[in-house]
C-alpha cells in the first residue's frame, strides 16, 4: 500500500457527474443485505448527487478529491477533462437538525474512494475536510449513517473517532 502522494479538494461541478457516477458504484461493494439491492443503493445516492449538481441543496456541499495538484476548495477555477479523470473520491456533506436538541449539525451523506486509491488516506482526508467544513459552520458534531455490514467503512470511521449512537432496525414484511 503506497501512500497517496497528494490529494487536493475542490467543490464538484456538473461536468464531474460521469466520474462521480463511476465512483458511486462502489457504494454497494460491501454486499447489501437481502432486502436492499445494490442498484437501489447506488441509484439512491446518485439521485442526491444529480439533484445537488443541478441545483445545490441548501446547507449541503459536494467536494471531490483529486490526485496530484488541483484547485483549492471553493475556488471557481476552470475544471478540465484531465483534472476530472484524476478524481479519486468524493464526499457529500449536509446540514441536519438533531432530533433531540433541534440544533443543526454536520452530516456526511455520501463518501466514496476509487478502488485503486483505497487504503492511502484519501477517505480520511475527505473526512477531515468534511469536519473542517462543519466546524467552519459553527457545528459541534458530525454524524453519518453506515450499513451494519460495511465493516471496512465502519473501521475507518471508528479510527477517526466516530462511535455508533442509535441503531436503525428493519424487517422485511411479507
Ligand atoms: C470506506 C472508504 C471511503 C475508506 O476510504 P479509504 O481511502 O480506503 O480510507 P483510508 O485510506 O483513509 O483508511 C483506510 C485504511 O488505510 C489506512 N491508511 C490511511 N492512510 C494510509 C497511508 N498513507 N498509507 C497506508 N495506509 C493508510 C488507514 O489506517 C485505514 O486502515 P484500517 O482500514 O485498518 O482502519 C472506502 O473504502 C470506500 O470508498 N469504500 C466503498 C464505498 C463505501 O463503502 N463508502 C462508505 C459508505 S458509508
User: What is the Å distance from ligand 1's center to 172 Cα?
Assistant: 31
**Which of 118, 130, 145, 168 to mutate for ligand 1's pocket (most ligand atoms within 8 Å of CB)?**
118
Look up cell 454486499; give the residue.
31
Residue 21 buriedness (CB in 10 A; 0-12 / 13-18 / 19+): middle
Instruction: Encode pLDDT of 109-147 as tens digits.
Output: 999 999 999 999 999 999 999 999 999 999 999 999 999
* pLDDT greater at residue 98 or residue 3: 98
- Pick from 26, 113, 116 the residue to mutate for probing ligand 1's pocket: most ligand atoms within 8 Å of its CB: 113
Asked whether residue 85 carries a pLDDT value surpassing 70, the answer given is no
Distance (Å) from CA 125 to ligand 1 centroid:
10
The pLDDT score that the predictor gives to residue 79 is 61
- Does an H or E element contain 53, and which? helix 38-54
Q: Is the pLDDT of residue 4 over 60?
A: no
pLDDT score recorded for residue 74: 42
User: And the C-alpha cell for 57?
Assistant: 441543496
Ligand 1 geometric centre to CA of 124 (Å): 7
What's the 42 CA to ligand 1 centre distance in angstroms?
19
pTM for the predicted model, two decimal places: 0.90
Ligand 1 pocket residue status of 128, Cβ below 6 Å: no
Grid coordinates belonging to 173: 414484511
Q: Go through 89-101 and write b for each residue having 16 or more CB atoms within 10 A of its CB, e for each that does not.
A: bbbbbbbbeeeee
Amino acid at each position: 500500500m503506497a501512500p497517496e502522494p497528494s490529494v487536493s479538494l475542490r467543490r464538484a461541478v456538473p461536468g464531474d457527474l460521469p466520474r462521480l457516477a463511476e465512483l458511486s458504484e462502489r457504494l454497494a461493494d460491501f454486499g447489501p443485505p437481502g432486502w436492499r439491492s445494490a442498484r437501489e443503493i447506488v441509484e439512491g445516492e446518485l439521485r442526491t448527487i444529480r439533484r445537488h449538481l443541478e441545483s445545490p441543496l441548501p446547507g449541503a456541499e459536494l467536494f471531490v478529491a483529486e490526485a496530484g495538484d488541483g484547485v483549492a476548495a471553493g475556488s471557481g477555477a476552470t475544471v478540465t477533462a484531465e483534472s476530472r479523470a484524476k478524481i479519486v473520491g468524493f464526499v457529500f456533506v449536509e446540514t441536519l437538525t438533531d432530533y433531540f436538541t433541534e440544533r443543526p449539525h454536520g452530516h456526511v451523506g455520501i463518501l466514496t474512494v476509487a478502488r485503486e486509491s483505497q487504503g492511502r488516506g484519501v477517505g480520511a482526508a475527505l473526512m477531515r475536510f468534511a469536519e473542517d467544513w462543519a466546524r467552519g459552520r459553527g457545528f459541534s458534531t458530525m454524524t453519518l449513517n453506515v450499513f451494519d455490514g460495511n465493516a471496512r467503512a465502519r473501521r475507518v470511521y471508528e479510527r477517526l473517532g466516530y462511535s455508533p449512537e442509535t441503531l436503525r432496525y428493519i424487517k422485511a414484511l411479507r
